[in-house]
Structure formats: C-alpha cells, structure tokens
Amino acid sequence: MVDRSSPPLSGTSLVLRLAAIAVVVGAVAGAFAYVNGTFDPQRLTPKKLVNVLETNNGVHPGFRRNHAKGVCVIGHFESSGEARSYSTAQVFNEARTPVVGRFALPAGSPYAPDGAVPIRSLALRFTQANGQQWRTGMNSMPVFPVGTPEAFYQFQQALSPLPATGKPDPAAVPAFFASHPETAPFLAWVKTAKPSASYVTENYNSVNAFYLVNATGQKQAVRWNMVPVAKDAPGAMAPQGSDYLEKDLVQRIATGPLRWQLMITLANPGDPTNDASKPWPEGRKVINAGTLVLESTQPQLDGECRDINYDPLVLPAGIEGSDDPLLAARSAGYANSYLRRTSEVSQLPAAKQEAQQ
Amino acid sequence: MSAQPNHFAPLARLLHWLMALMIIAMLFIGAGMVASVSERHEWLIHLHKPLGVAILLLVIVRLAVRFSTRQPPLPADLPGWQVLAAKASHVLLYVLMLVLPLLGWAMISASGEPVMLGSSLQLPSIMPANASLFAFLRKAHGYLAYLLFLTVLVHLAAALFHGWVRRDGVLDSMLRGKDRG
C-alpha cells in the first residue's frame, strides 16, 4: 500500500499542533464539566437536596430519605366516569384500576414517633390496563410551605444541626420564615394542625398542580384531594405512644375496606399552577373522579410499595405535570434518593432488628 | 490504484457523523439532567430516552455496515501500540454504544416504571422489577457513560493527531469521500 506519511514537522509547528489538539479536547471536557455542575458549586443539584436531608435526619440505610416511616397498602380505584371528559387517562375510563400505595410520616427517620409531625402522607401507584402508570405522592396539608426547590433547600439548611452544638440554630427557622413570606398560608394551617390519631381519617392533597388532557387536547389545570369517607369521632385524640398509626390502620382495614373519594379541583384561568405555597380561592368547581378502596396492608420492609419510587411525574397519557418547579425537583430528588436506598436493600434486615431494639 | 480503499464507505461516514452528534448530545444531556433539579431535568429526560433508543437502532445498522463494507487500512508505519490502541478503542466504542442504551432500558425496567418514550409510546420491560438489580444497572449506566465520554475524548485527540501531526490520511478517510492526488 501507499505510505501516506507527510514530511516531519518543525519543532515549533509540532508543539503548536499538539497544543491545538489539547485545546480542542480540553474545550469539550470543560463544556462537559460545566454541564454537570463541576464549575458551579452554588447550583442546587438532586444530590445536594438529598444530602441535606441526610444531614438533618441521619442515614438509615435502605430507607427513603424522607417519609421514611410508613406502611404499604393494596387496593384499587373505582372510576366514577366524571373525569372522563377532562382526561383520556385510562384510570378515569376503566371501572377498576389496581393500586399499590403507602401511608407515611413526613419525617426523615424510620423511627420517628407518630406525633413528631402533624402531617401524614399517602402515595399511590395506579397501574392501568395499558401498562401506563400514575404515581402520586400526597400530603395532609392544603399547601406546601414554599414554592421553589431553592427555598425548600434553604428551609432544610435552617433545620440542619450546627457542628458546634449538634443542634439546629434556634434562630434559623424563624429567620427563614421571616424572609419567606410565601410560607404564611402553610404557617396559618400548621398553627391549627394536630397530629391525627389515624391515617384513615386524613385528607390527602396533591399540593402541586397538574393538567388533565382530554381527547381533543384541551388542558385543564387541576389539584386533587383524597377525601376520607371515615371520619373521626368528635374530640378524638392521638393515643399515647409513638407507633399508633400503623396499628390503627391494620385494625381498621381488618374490619373492611377503607375508602376515599378522589376530588379533583378545576382551576379557573389565572389560578397559580406554578406555586404550591398558594392555595386556590374557594368556589372552584370540584369533580368526584371515583373511589379509592384500600383492602389490605403490608409491612414496608418487604411489602410491594418498598421498591416503588413515588415520583409525581410518572404519569399516564391524559395527565401532565404543570409548570410547578417543585415537580421536577421532586422527580430529580426522589431519583437520587431511590438510587441510594436501592443500593442498600441488603442492609434492611439489620434495620429491622434495630427497630425492634 | 491501491486494492484497499482510502476512505470509509459513504454510508459508514454518514452514520459516523450522525451518531457522533447524537452521542455527544446524549452524554451532555445525561450529565446535565442528573445535576439539575429544575424543569431542565424533565425535558432532558424526555429527550434522553427516545434519543437513546434511536442510537441503539442506529448502532445495529452501523455494525451491519461495518461488517459488510471494507475499511481503509491503518498506515503501515503506525507504531504497534498505536495500532493496538486504535483497534481496542474502536471495539470499546462499539460495545459502549450498544450497551449503554440497553442498560438504560434495563434499569428503567428493573425500577418497575413503565418504559415510556413519549406520553403514550411504551416499550416492553426487559428486566424484572428488582431494587438491587436496578441499583446495579443504574450505576453501571452512569460509570460506563463516563467511560464512553473518556473514550470519545481519546478518539477525538487521536483523530486530530492523525490529521494535524502525522498527516497520514486517517482523518481524511472519515472526512472526505474522494481521493486526493
């Protein structure tokens, strides 16, 4: 074959050419490092969000980094057909859709006492006949304390223990609330909120806004509530002890299925979809999309809900995320937490013994 | 006129440059999305999945083209270690192009999430839902993506070394379709 080698380069020319190659390769590598955040330590990343939760709550291998204490529930959803004209999602069109859910305490430790926070959460995964899924993580509060992931991160930082004392700075949280007026609706609610005695009597709110999309492509902004059919007796109080919620749930479900109505609130034009800290005004149209029926429970350590990441952006055709910035942050943060805890599954049995001590 | 071609076949060149663009874009999309909590995270993921499947389909076509066309030989005076590095890095590139999309598909399957390429287009799961398996596949996907990025950088540096320092026709064989002189 023909030897296509060219005459040798002069020393200077060789150095210049090698330098040019280094510049090109360095530029590509630099652009990559820019994109992955290496040059931007201020950028809020999923890793930082989950790290601050670990700083505040400790690391409990194998458990969720937030809402760590919970219990799996199995059941189904019975559509009323009322949401059909707003969304093509099969869950609203089929009579029954199977559900795997999880009740939890919004705290970072799997051993937190049930009275530690006045909030309870319910996460659900609906599996449609066509294989698509709807995952939602709801909380028993009407609004989120803040509207952006950055503010949520700053709030978690205010709760972080100081290296010197091992305790959070007592002035940090009041200072955070003072500098974040958007927390006012949440603070007004939390003032009257008491830790409930049961998961079963709580109202669970999507908090974030979504869109229902119908067959003609029309989008309707919505938030939804799972409204319990069971009501507490007047004056019902949370019992003594720290683990009453799961026991109560198991007892109640043993006597028959538990039900919630899926109430979907339709936004008026102009209602904020991008700020979960703002409630929508009263008087919005509400439709009853159907009934959630929960039939049995499973322990979270080996139940079906354990390995489900209740990412609120896993949605079927006919439901879409809104422009609420918390949605993408939840999705990104949950994915990071999910990788951490699924890497630690083998450490869970030890945690089981720890819990029994 | 030599019996060996001086250039890659036109279809091979088209696939090379098209996939070069897609793979670089894919690596940047992946690095950006795991480092973001903003809406960017969402729309990057929605690009990442269909683009990954497109790369998987194209690499199959590309391997078929590779094995059915003749490649220009490396220069006869290329040192042995560089010949070895060239061959090994090309095998690595092909393997990673094929394996990374499959790992992405497999890891979503193992997470129990439906593998969606858009709001309604769903691929079958290729792995059973399993937490430990997911964690393994997800990490492999991440580490091998970094390995692919490093290999692409080495490939780029070597191509420019051939074109600017050795000036031995290797870079030209992928750039131009016609023999010069």
In a domain, A315, yes or no: yes
Token code pair at residue A33: 């490092």
Q: Is the ipTM of this complex over 0.90?
A: yes
Pair A127, A150 in one domain: no
Q: Go through chain B and tell me how many residues it has.
A: 181
In a domain, A42, yes or no: no
Question: Measured between CA atoms, how close is A37 to chain B, in angstroms?
Answer: 6
Residues of chain B with pLDDT under 70: 1-3, 177-181
What is each CA distance from A275 to A281, A298, A320, A332, B113, in whole angstroms? 13, 35, 16, 18, 27
Pair A86, A174 in one domain: no
Pair A150, A254 in one domain: no
Q: Do A132 and B116 touch (CB under 8 A)?
A: yes
Reduced to 3 states (helix: H, G, I; strand: E, B; else coil), residue B169 is: coil
Token code pair at residue B96: 């990673």
Of the candidates A326, A66, A320, A338, which has an alpha carbon nearest to the alpha carbon of residue A218? A320
Q: Are the beta carbons of A101 and A73 closer than 8 angstroms?
A: yes
The bridge status of strand A121-127 relative to strand A210-213 is: unpaired
Question: Measured between CA atoms, how close is B180 to chain A, in angstroms?
Answer: 11
Chain B residue with the nearest C-alpha to that of A33: B31
d(CA A267, CA A222): 6
Pair A218, A177 in one domain: no
d(CA A203, CA A121): 9
Q: Do A17 and B165 touch (CB under 8 A)?
A: yes
Question: What residues of B are in contact with residue A44 (Cβ under 8 Å)?
Answer: 37
| Number of domains making up chain A | 2
Longest dimension (CA), chain B: 60
In a domain, B1, yes or no: no
In a domain, A255, yes or no: yes
Host domain of residue A302: 70-141+198-231+240-357
The domain that holds B20 is classified in CATH as 1.20.950.20
Token code pair at residue B101: 């999309």
Host domain of residue B159: 10-175
Beta-carbon contacts of residue A280 (< 8 Å; ≥ 6 apart): A223, A265, A267, A268, A271, A272
Question: What residues of B are in contact with residue A4 (Cβ under 8 Å)?
Answer: 75, 168-169
**Per-residue pLDDT, A4:** 58
Pair A212, A109 in one domain: yes
Beta-carbon contacts of residue A195 (< 8 Å; ≥ 6 apart): A114, A115, A116, A117, A118, A238
Pair A135, A280 in one domain: yes
Question: Measured between CA atoms, how close is B42 to chain A, in angstroms?
Answer: 6
Q: Do A342 and B132 touch (CB under 8 A)?
A: yes
Q: Do B36 and A5 touch (CB under 8 A)?
A: no
Percentage of chain B with pLDDT > 90? 91
The domain that holds A159 is classified in CATH as 1.10.10
Pair A156, A254 in one domain: no
> One of A60, A67, A76, A180 is an active-site residue; which one?
A67
In a domain, A40, yes or no: no
**Per-residue pLDDT, A1:** 42
In a domain, B25, yes or no: yes
Q: Chain A within 8 Å of B68 (Cβ-Cβ)?
A: no
**Per-residue pLDDT, A2:** 46
**Per-residue pLDDT, B99:** 98
Burial bucket for residue B8 (CB in 10 Å: 0-12, 13-18, 19+):
buried
Pair A101, A179 in one domain: no
Give how far the C-alpha of residue A152 lies from the chain's centroid of Cα atoms, to the nearest Å: 13
Q: Do A43 and B35 touch (CB under 8 A)?
A: yes
Chain A residue with the nearest C-alpha to that of B40: A328
Give how far the C-alpha of residue B104 lies from the chain's centroid of Cα atoms, to the nearest Å: 14
- Using the CB atoms, write b or e for A270-293: b if 16+ within 10 Å: ebbbbbbbbbbeeeeebbebbbbb
Pair A221, A255 in one domain: yes
Per-residue pLDDT of chain A (357 residues; tens, 9 = 90+): 445 568 888 999 999 999 999 999 999 999 999 999 999 999 999 999 999 999 999 999 999 999 999 999 999 999 999 999 999 999 999 999 999 999 999 999 999 999 999 999 999 999 999 999 999 999 999 999 999 999 999 999 999 999 888 899 999 999 999 999 999 999 999 999 888 889 999 999 999 999 999 999 999 999 999 999 988 766 666 677 789 999 999 999 999 999 999 999 999 999 999 999 999 999 999 999 999 999 999 999 999 999 999 999 999 999 999 999 999 999 999 999 999 999 999 988 654 555 554
Which of B75, B139, B156 lies nearest to residue A24, judging by beta carbons?
Answer: B156
Strands (E), chain B: 115-116, 122-123
| Number of domains making up chain B | 1
Name the region of B167 (left: φ>0; alpha: ψ -120 to 50; beta: rest).
left
Pair A298, A176 in one domain: no
Question: What residues of A are in contact with residue B119 (Cβ under 8 Å)?
Answer: 317, 320
In a domain, A53, yes or no: no
Pair A165, A262 in one domain: no
- Please say whether the dihedral angle defined by the alpha carbons of residues A55, A61, A64 and A70, taken in this order, is positive or negative: negative
Q: What tens digit of pLDDT does each residue of A244-253 get?
A: 999 999 999 9
Active site residue A76: no
Reported pTM: 0.93
Of the candidates A52, A287, A278, A320, which has an alpha carbon nearest to the alpha carbon of residue A182? A278
Question: Which position has the token pair 């002035």?
Answer: A171
Pair A188, A209 in one domain: no
In a domain, A282, yes or no: yes
Beta-carbon contacts of residue A152 (< 8 Å; ≥ 6 apart): A49, A145, A146, A326, A329
Question: Measured between CA atoms, how close is B8 to chain A, in angstroms?
Answer: 16
**Per-residue pLDDT, B6:** 87
Which of A9, A12, A17, A21 is the mutation pick for testing B, counting most B CBs within 10 A? A21
In a domain, A265, yes or no: yes
Which of A36, A72, A146 is the mutation pick for testing B, counting most B CBs within 10 A? A36
d(CA B137, CA B94): 19
